[in-house]
Structure 1
Amino acid sequence: MVDRFSTHDIELGDDLVIKRFRSWGRGEPQREWAALKLLAEHAPGLAATPVRAALDACPPTVVMTRLPGRVLRGEHAMDEQVRAMAAALDQLHHAIPAQAVAALEPAAWRPAAAVDKVRAWADKQPDLGDDSLVRQAFRAGVAWLASSAPDRLTTNPLPPVLGLADGNHANYLWDDQERRVRLVDWEDSGRSDRAFELGEVAEHISRVDGILDVERLLACIDLSQPEAERVRDFRRLSAMGWFLMLGPDGPATPHNPPGTLELQAERVLHLLS
């Protein structure tokens, strides 16, 4: 089975899930298996339990337990769900011992790569149409990208965490019975920057599919002032990245409803204000 948010093939059984990878050039099967094993040991219940893996098969395969619940993407997340999502992120970022996190490979998507990629997209001056608000957002975003703020994001002054490295809200399952959130899809996971992870969740383009109060989400997470400032700038970076991919011929355009570019322009200007 493949749903509209998936990048892999999933076979759902009554109790087990078989995940077959379509690509594995970034070590996706190994990343998923390593994360699931760590979580089963240190944060049982937060993610699926690993059962077996054929990491060298073609395609590589991971078998895990099936989690109850439904994805939060596309939903109007209620306050209880937002608080449960914050609790899941807090558990993820604090449950894994520092020594185990240090031994992980860096996440596939990480701050330095994000800064370089968003700046490269901006330098190409992608076709974003003629809307005046969109043009204003582009100018404001380019000015911010040219500042020193993005460069400060590439060095993490705080301890790293295990991160999903994917802010897609489809990775968060709400369990009506246990009233909690669980996390899925660990193929890009690895050692990451907590502020980067939170910025990605807050600004992933999946937010346009439903309603998630990210300000409330972040308010439920204990952040120091320096970390809160880093989250703010990572939100700016992520929002600008999505904005640059939403032009008429942009890679994110076919997957999002009409008007998403204009909404994202408003988002960029709001975050930069």
Structure 2
Amino acid sequence: MPHSVKLSGTTLTKSYTSWPRNEPAREWAALTLLSRAAPDLVPTPLTASTDPTPRMTMTVVPGQPLSGRLTSAQLTALGSALETLWSVPPASLASIDLGMLVDRSRAGLTVLRDNRGVIAEAAAAWLAWLDGGPLDLIAVRDPVVAHGDPNLANYLWDGERVRIVDFEDAGLGDRTVELANLVEHLAGRETDWDPLVRRFCPDPDRFRTARCLWAGFWLTLIGPGGPSAHRNPPGTAEAQARRVLRLIAAGPRDDRGRRGC
């Protein structure tokens, strides 16, 4: 975790321990924009400093982190929060660098291709898929405020509505890519995302492409030698590899038929 937090009454102070992607500036810009345009959806930024290291104080928003299998009410409330988030014009924000994500995934999966079994098979399939040049489909076509970190723990549920925290990776992104990021995040594997996907009804070609990208990225994180490999039980990486293979093998018509869009 590239930050530490300290609670003091109704405020929270976040101290950044690393910021290779200019995370403090990204979070300040996103929270400033969103707290004005969509009050009560996100924390309100109060103060920021850089001495001796970046630090930001913000309001505390109510709720407990989502986790596990989301209920219908939680899924509906999350959809409403995302709808509000994505309704805010993002033009003032720095763009999300998908090229960096692609390069990091390519490098990681090139290493995993030298493993054995289903992980190596998935890595090779993903690299071949990437060489087919699908990424032009996920250039920004529907610009939104991209949260950038859809871990369920970053969505706070108060029993009625969802609020959103942790905007260190936020920026100007694409709605379909963000939706795919949420669906493919490891934290959400127990949830049936179909109702939420139907709500936003993304283009099936673009959605599948974005899901393949994020699925490959996750395999680099939890595969052998990955930075998150030790955090997951045995078999998690193999299950992710099989997921990558299924996504690459599936056609757009399969996505459209299953989603009902």
* TM-score for the superposition, normalised by structure 2: 0.87
Are 1:106 and 1:191, in contact at CA under 8 Å, matched by a contact in 2? yes
1:85 aligns to what?
78
Residues 1:62 and 2:80 aligned together? no
**1:203 to partner: Cα distance:** 0.8
Counterparts of 1:247 and 1:104 in 2: how far apart (Å)? 33
Secondary structure (helix, strand or coil) at the match of 1:64 reads strand
| Aligned twin of 1:3 | none
Name the counterpart of 1:104: 93
CA distance in 2, matches of 1:34, 1:212: 31
167-176 or 36-45, larger mean C-alpha shift = 167-176
Which shows bigger deviation, 24-33 or 14-23?
A: 24-33
- 1:137 matches 2:122: yes
**Alpha-carbon distance in 1 for matches of 2:215, 2:54:** 33
Aligned to 1:45: 40
Summarize the Cα distance change of 1:11–1:222 in structure 2 as closer, same or farther, 3 Å threshold. same
Indicate the SS of the match to 2:163: strand
Please say if residues 119 and 223 of structure 2, whose CA atoms lie closer than 8 Å, have aligned partners that are also in contact.
no
Task: Please report how far the alpha carbon of residue 22 of structure 1 lies from its aligned counterpart in structure 2 after TM superposition.
Answer: 0.8
Structure 2 residue 198 is the aligned partner of structure 1 residue 219: yes
Give, in angstroms, the shift of residue 206 of structure 1: 2.3
SS of equivalent residue, structure 2 residue 200: coil
**Counterpart Cα distance in 1 of 2:111 and 2:136:** 19
TM-score, normalized by length of structure 1? 0.83
2:16 counterpart residue number: 21
Give 1:123's aligned residue.
110
- Length, aligned pairs only: 249
Amino acid corresponding to residue 47 of structure 1 in structure 2: V
SS in 2 for 1:162: strand
Contact 1:111 1:196 in 2 (8 A): no
Q: Which residue of the partner structure matches residue 113 of structure 1?
A: 100
- Tell me, yes or no, if the aligned pair for 1:49 and 1:65 is still in contact at 8 Å: yes
Q: Give structure 2 stretches of 5+ with no counterpart.
A: 251-261
Q: Cα RMSD over matched residues?
A: 2.0
> Paired residue for 1:204, among 178, 181, 185?
185
Match of 2:166 in 1: 185
For 1:165, which of 148, 151, 163 is the aligned residue? 148
Cα 1:170–1:256 change in 2 (3 A) is same
The match for 1:269 among 212, 225, 245 is 245
1:206-235 per-residue CA deviation (whole Å, 9 max, x = no partner) reads 235xx2222232122243x3xx42122111
Uncovered stretches (5+) of structure 1, i.e. residues with no partner: 1-5
Letter paired with 1:24: W
Give 1:248's aligned residue: 224
- For residues 94-113 of structure 1, the C-alpha deviation after alignment (integer angstroms, 9 at most, x for no partner) is 1x23xxx2222123xx3222
Does 1:146 find its partner at 2:146? no
Deviation at 1:151, TM superposition (A): 4.2
Report the Cα offset of residue 126 of structure 1: 4.9
